[in-house]
Every structure is written in C-alpha cells, then in structure tokens.
C-alpha cells in the first residue's frame, strides 16, 4: 500500500511541477518586450540546458530519492502524463483556428496510429543519452580546449530551439518537433567536437572502405586528410606535424585554420589521399 501511495505522490508531484513551469514558459513571452527577450534567452544554451534538465532529468533523479523504485516509475509516468496533458491543452487552446494540416495525422495514415505513437515514445527513451552527450560537451570539452587548444564553440549556435515559432505547429506536432530541435543541435555539436578529437589523435583511415564512406559524412577529414589504411606511421607523424604544428588544433577543415596572413594548412594534407 505504501508503494502505491509513494508512486501516486511522485507521479502527481511531477505532473504539477512540470505543467506549472510549462505554463510559466507560455506566459513569459506575453510580458512585453522584456518578456520576449527573456524567453528568447531561455531558448538558447546555457539557459536551455537548465530548462531541458528540469523537464527530463530532474524527475528521474528526484523520484528515486523520494521513493526508490516506486518513485522512479512514478516520475516516468508523471513525465508521460505531463506531455499528454500539455498536448491536449495546447490543441484545445488552438481549436478556434479550425482544421489545419497536421504531421501526426499524415503519419498516422501512412503507418497507422499505434505504430506512429509507439515509435515516437521509443525515441523518447534515449533522451538520457542526449543529456549525457550534452553534459560531456559542457564538462569535458572545455578542459580539452585548454589542454590541447581545440577550437572554441558558441554552444548557443547549436543548442537552441525555435520550431515553436513555426506557423501552424501545435500540440502533438509541436512538442515532438521541439524534442527533435534540441536533440539535433546537441548531436551536431557533439559530432563537431569529435572531429577535432579524431583528427588530432587518430588521423588514420579505417580498413573498411564502406566505413570510411559512411563516416566521412560526419568526419570529412576521413576523405581529405587522414592517412590511408595501407599507409605507415611515418605518414601519420607527417600529417600531425604539418596539420598541428601551428597554434590551431581543430579538424583539418575547420574554419579556424583559415588565417588572414595566409594558409596555415598549406601542403599539410596534400598527397595524403
């Protein structure tokens, strides 16, 4: 009996806490120019990190602390219920606008409603993974910049959300598009940072040509700078000496290597393909 009460208490508490803050986020841009500016600031990292963490990570941490496994399950149920309640409320608030094109309705017609909804919620399960990637970007990459002089990035240019401004995107479509909006930026920034890591420490192509072709999409230096798999360590050292002999240690195609005075990488990777 106590387990059930703990479960219900945590689930109810999470629903109230999440919907209350969601309501505030809707209210803030309606508070004049200052409110709109503050709302815009909240839509970009680092402020966005706290907002996303509040909705995704905080309940999963607080729930078990409060009530163990019952609290964890209650937190998850509360998060799911919050999304469903907010979705219904947002669509109800826009009901007077009349029928409009909907992504959810089209996809439901293509694959069927249960397949569509089940697939979407499966993608939600990996939210903690993206949160860990974001944590690594904030905690691990800055020391790497200091230690080996990797390029600096403005996280807000990558980690932000803006699809709520798109005309006609409401309810179900809006909440899932915002999730993808955040997720895509986090993943893209992580890939950009990893380009520096790979080209700095391991500029060697893979033995599999298929893997090289696949990875070159996210790691362009695979095809334009890394030493062929049949090469030797002297070639690797030569590439590293020429590519990282200057003051910038970004991946070979990084804009930071374009200098005012000339080409920092002139000849660095020529003939390595």
Question: Domain limits of the chain?
Answer: 2-194, 202-257
Contacts of 104 (CB under 8 A, 6+ apart): 116, 172, 173
- Grouped pLDDT means (10 residues each) for the chain, 273 residues: 90 98 97 97 98 97 96 97 97 84 95 97 95 97 94 96 94 97 98 96 96 96 94 95 85 76 42 39
The pLDDT of residue 259: 55
CA distance 29 to 35: 5
Any idea what DSSP says for residue 44? B
Nearest one of 51, 57, 83, 67 to 171, comparing CA atoms: 83
The pLDDT of residue 245: 80
The pLDDT of residue 272: 40
CA distances from 24 to 20, 171, 210 (A): 6, 17, 49
Q: Nearest 5 degrees, angle CA 18-CA 180-CA 127?
A: 60
Q: Is the pTM of this model over 0.85?
A: yes
The pLDDT of residue 64: 96
């Amino acid at each position: 009996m106590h387990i059930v009460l703990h479960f219900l208490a945590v689930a109810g508490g999470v629903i109230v806490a999440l919907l209350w803050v969601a309501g505030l986020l809707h209210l803030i841009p309606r508070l004049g120019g200052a409110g709109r500016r503050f709302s815009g600031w909240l839509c970009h990292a680092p402020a966005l990190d706290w907002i996303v963490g509040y909705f995704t990570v905080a309940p999963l941490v607080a729930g078990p602390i409060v009530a163990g496994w019952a609290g964890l399950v209650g937190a998850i149920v509360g998060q799911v219920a919050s999304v469903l309640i907010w979705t219904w409320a947002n669509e109800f608030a826009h009901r007077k606008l009349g029928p409009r094109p909907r992504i959810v309705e089209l996809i439901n017609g293509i694959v069927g409603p249960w397949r569509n909804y089940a697939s979407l919620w499966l993608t939600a399960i990996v939210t903690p993974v993206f949160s860990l990637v974001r944590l690594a970007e904030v905690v691990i990459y800055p020391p790497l910049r200091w230690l080996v002089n990797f390029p600096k990035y403005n996280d807000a240019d990558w980690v932000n959300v803006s699809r709520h401004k798109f005309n006609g995107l409401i309810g179900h479509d809006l909440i899932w598009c915002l999730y993808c909006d955040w997720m895509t930026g986090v993943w893209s920034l992580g890939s950009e940072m990893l380009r520096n890591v790979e080209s700095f420490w391991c500029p060697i192509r893979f033995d599999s040509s298929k893997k090289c072709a696949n990875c070159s999409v996210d790691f362009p230096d695979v095809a334009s700078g890394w030493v062929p798999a049949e090469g030797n360590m002297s070639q690797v050292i030569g590439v590293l000496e020429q590519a990282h002999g200057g003051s910038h240690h970004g991946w070979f195609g990084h804009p930071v290597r374009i200098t005012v005075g000339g080409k920092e990488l002139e000849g660095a990777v020529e003939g390595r393909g």
